[in-house]
Amino acid sequence: MNFNTVDKLSLQNKTVFLRLDLNVPLDGQGNITDDTRIVKALPTLRHILKQTNKIVVASHLGRPKGKPVPSMSLEPVGRKLSELLNLELAFVKDYVQTPVDQLLHQLGKNRIILLENLRFYSQETENDKEFAQVLAKGIDYYVSDAFGALHRAHASVAALAERFPKERRAIGFLVEQELKTLDKLKKGSKAPYTVIIGGSKVSDKVGVLLNLVNHCNHVLIGGAMAYSFLKFQGTRVGTSLVEANVGSLISSIYESAEARKVSIHLPLDHVCAKTMDSTETKVIEGDIPDAYAGFDIGPLTVDAYKKVIFASKTIFWNGPLGVFERPAFRTGTSAIAKAIADHDCYSVAGGGDSIAAINFAKVADKFTHISTGGGASLEYLEGKILPGLKVLFFKNFNI
């Protein structure tokens, strides 16, 4: 791997800027509903703490659009981190005005610094170099373990890393594991290899589908995007969500799959309702009447998809197969999560909704790997060079 890794750094009594992805879901009252990303950040944090406590931890949370939004504060994250690490965090709200470099040298042995939500400043998403200079003040080393943010050319991800010599930039253990896992999916996986794709938009997934079709044997499609495929095939889909002007994209996916003898599987039946808010649902096979829309895969589809899953040796899953956040349309996604977990194979899942489904089904420990970054994992698998990785290349690197 052509990246400097955190375990190669000599950090004794040095100052470290640690960019993490602590973008966890909150319930509106400041309670964390899924701490997966926090827990996954702990190995790198603990490794650095063995050498120095002069650490500035930084992350984003949500999309506050460049201004403070109290409901997107990192304070609840700080409390959870403090609890898990059994140390005190100095929480800095205004680090543009507060001299963080001075605070670093005043820290007690059982204390580190956590900055408030980076995206409270518009300069973060603008990849502003002056903002990056503020973040870099007093820092000796830059470490990125924020896999879920590596596809963003933001100040704390790109411009800040560029301010350090290459030998003083590194990736953390989480990013290292993510890359090793995804490289197996890109460059060589045991067959049969099945890709399960959900979500709403074909246009969001076309790049990764065209890339993965070069490597996989089966593609199972669910979620709203399935109705764009079904309509393309001539099936009536009622009032189901269909993305406009994607016929040529779908055609290119089918052409690529046919050339490589990859099987594309679409739902056979659907859990339908007249509206997403309706509690009255019915399972419809084949064509969907005009008054109904599909919001989940039905039992016939679950059984058909399970057969493919149980015959697979490698599985990559991204995106729910129904409107998972509504209990009435959760069954299909949960069933697929349990099926993958029950099968002995190399299984990788990516994306916040996929993680939520896996956690709901209580099968997270049965997956080979759960990626913390849905967008980043898709772009990496698509073959794109992620801005946050490009600045961390330690050697000449070619994708």
pLDDT digits (tens, 9 = 90+) for 332-376: 999 999 999 999 999 999 876 777 788 888 898 899 988 888 788
Give the model's pLDDT for residue 105.
Answer: 87
To which residue do tokens 């704390």 refer? 156
Look up residue 310 and give its two tokens.
Answer: 């149980």
Amino acid at the residue 250: I
C-alpha to C-alpha distance for 211 and 252, rounded to whole angstroms: 12
| 319 counts as catalytic | no
As a whole number of angstroms, the distance between CA 334 and CA 56 comes to: 38
Max Cα–Cα distance, the chain, nearest Å: 68
CATH architecture of the domain formed by 6-176? 3-Layer(aba) Sandwich (3.40)
Q: Of residues 222, 352, 374, 388, which has the active-site annotation?
A: 352
pLDDT reported for residue 214 = 86
Catalytic site includes residue 352? yes
pLDDT given at position 383: 83
Residues of the chain with pLDDT under 70: 1, 188, 352, 394-399
Whole-Å CA distances, 59 to 149, 243, 257, 291: 9, 33, 39, 45
pLDDT given for residue 9 in this prediction:
95
Q: Answer for the pair 280, 329: CB distance below 8 angstroms, yes or no.
A: no
Among candidate residues 148, 172, 332, 375, the one labeled active-site is 375
Is this prediction's pTM over 0.75? yes
Q: Is 148 a catalytic residue?
A: no
Quick one: pLDDT at residue 1? 60
Exactly one of 79, 93, 201, 313 is catalytic; which is it?
201
- Separation CA 172–CA 18 (nearest Å): 9
Determine the pLDDT at residue 399: 36
Q: Give the pairing type, strands 88-92 and 141-145.
A: unpaired
Which tens digit of pLDDT belongs to each residue from 54-75?
999 999 999 999 999 999 999 9
- Cβ neighbors of 397 (< 8 A, separation 6 or more) are 2
The 3-state secondary structure of 375-392, one letter per residue? HHHHHHHHCCCCHHHHCC
State the CB neighbour count (10 A cutoff) for residue 85: 16
Q: In what order do the strands lie in the sheet with 111-115?
A: 88-92, 111-115, 55-58, 16-20, 141-145, 169-171
Domain edges within the chain: 6-176, 188-382
**Catalytic site includes residue 188:** no
User: 6-176 and 188-382 share one CATH topology?
Assistant: yes
Fold type of domain 188-382: Rossmann fold (3.40.50)
> Cβ-count burial of 25 within 10 angstroms (0-12 exposed, 13-18 middle, 19+ buried)?
middle
How many whole angstroms separate alpha carbon 374 and alpha carbon 193? Answer: 19
